[in-house]
Amino acid sequence: MLRVELGKAIHRVRTWVFALGLAGLALIPVIFPPTDVGQGGPPFLDLITRNGLFAALVAVVIVQPFFLPLGTGLLSGEAIAGEASAGTLRYLIARPTGRRRLLLSKFAAVMTQVAAAIGWLLLVGLIAGSIRFGLGPLPTLSGTTIPTGAAFVRVIASGVYILLGMAGLASIGLLFSTITNSGPGATVATVAVAIASQIMDNLSALHAIHPYLLSHGWLAFADLFRSPVAWDGMERGVLLMAVYTAVFLALGLWVISRRDITS
């Protein structure tokens, strides 16, 4: 089933339009690097001219607050609801594709496609950045430097962490997708959750619930660029994501196991 999902994605024009759009986003900070250091903006943006590896990282970081949740919301929100509105869901269930197996395959397919998007952003950023700014040992946020090879590994690790951060959101999107027959509805609801979580994470009055917000751990990968690496933030982030994923995926499985397919 995962293979079918990926095959469907590959044969869709929109997949390649998205890939083109993401490549454009990755290139913007390389073509228009910041002129002042320390002017704010996304993490690592002001370091981009120092090393092409940062360009790869920045490419992913600039899509993380909005475009990545948007893509995750689109893929997960339409996963079941989109099949329902196309009518293909009834043929998949009658095939019979087990209901729970279908949802788990959809989850795997969403995560694979988000992983492909992140990998693509890293690749485009890395190539463009290394051409414009060159590669070399990476300065850390703590003032030390990491050798190029180890720095590359940390950039990849950042991508993996950012991917894991989307697992909770994908599970929420899949739950919405099992409840409604409207793909756009589920997508909008999922993106709204991501945005609401980030807004709440910035309201100091809500600081008591900050540690439990979906997006709270999303930026903890920055600790990979400290020396020594501070793991506790990322450990909490992964744990939080695991809980969100387990809870919402379980709810989604519960719903799809009982729902009447009337579309």
What is the footprint of another protein within residues 22-81 (CB under 8 A)? none
* Dihedral over alpha carbons 66, 213, 166, 76 (to 10 degrees): -80
- Spatial separation of the C-alpha atoms in residues 201 and 28, rounded to whole Å: 27
Of 86 and 239, CB closest to another protein: 86
Of 189 and 256, CB closest to another protein: 256
Of 83 and 223, CB closest to another protein: 83
**190 contacts 72 by C-beta, under 8 angstroms:** yes
Sign of the torsion formed by the C-alpha atoms of 59, 53, 116 and 20: positive
CB of 168 to another protein, least distance (A): 23
Verify binding: residue 91, another protein, rule CB under 8 A: yes
Sign of the torsion formed by the C-alpha atoms of 207, 142, 160 and 126: positive
Verify binding: residue 257, another protein, rule CB under 8 A: yes
Task: Pick one of 42, 70, 90, 156: the residue that binds another protein (CB under 8 A).
Answer: 90
Q: What is the three-state SS of 97-141?
A: CCHHHHHHHHHHHHHHHHHHHHHHHHHHHHHHHHHHHCCCCEECC
- Spatial separation of the C-alpha atoms in residues 209 and 211, rounded to whole Å: 6
Task: Pick one of 96, 134, 147, 211: the residue that binds another protein (CB under 8 A).
Answer: 96
Verify binding: residue 88, another protein, rule CB under 8 A: yes
Verify binding: residue 93, another protein, rule CB under 8 A: yes
Binding segment for another protein (CB under 8 A), chosen from 68-76, 99-107, 128-136, 202-210, is 99-107
Of 90 and 226, CB closest to another protein: 90
Task: Pick one of 28, 37, 86, 203: the residue that binds another protein (CB under 8 A).
Answer: 86
Task: Pick one of 65, 98, 137, 185: the residue that binds another protein (CB under 8 A).
Answer: 98
Verify binding: residue 17, another protein, rule CB under 8 A: no
CB of 194 to another protein, least distance (A): 27
Of 25 and 104, CB closest to another protein: 104
Spatial CB neighbours of 169, under 8 Å, sequence gap ≥ 6: 69, 72, 73, 76, 190, 193, 194, 214, 244
**Number of helices (H), then strands (E), in the chain:** 9, 2
Give residues in contact with another protein (CB under 8 A). 1, 3-4, 7-8, 11-13, 86-88, 90-101, 256-258, 260-262
